[in-house]
Amino acid sequence: MKHNDSIGCVVTECKYHAKDKNYCSLDQIMVVKHASRAESVESTDCGSFEEEGR
């Protein structure tokens, strides 16, 4: 599977995980926040995540 060398990823449950290597196969991801102001790593997520098999 093609992967993006600029986007590392260890979330193997994601539809876009490169499978053979710990990278994302998308050209671009969207990082999202859970509040009006992001103040920690925990307040952000990869908004491009989709569960494998969906």
Domain boundaries, the chain: 4-46
SS3 26: coil
| Cβ proximity of 46 and 25 under 8 Å | no
pLDDT tens for residues 17-29? 999 999 999 999 9
Say what the pLDDT of residue 23 is.
98
Say what the pLDDT of residue 17 is.
98
CA angle, corner 23, sides to 10 and 15, nearest 5? 75
Say what the pLDDT of residue 53 is.
86
Which of 22, 34, 28, 30 has its CA nearest to residue 46?
Answer: 30
Distance (Å) of CA 43 to CA 5, 8, 40: 25, 19, 5
Distance (Å, whole) CA 28 – CA 31:
10
pLDDT tens for residues 2-54? 999 999 999 999 999 999 999 999 999 999 999 999 999 999 999 999 999 87
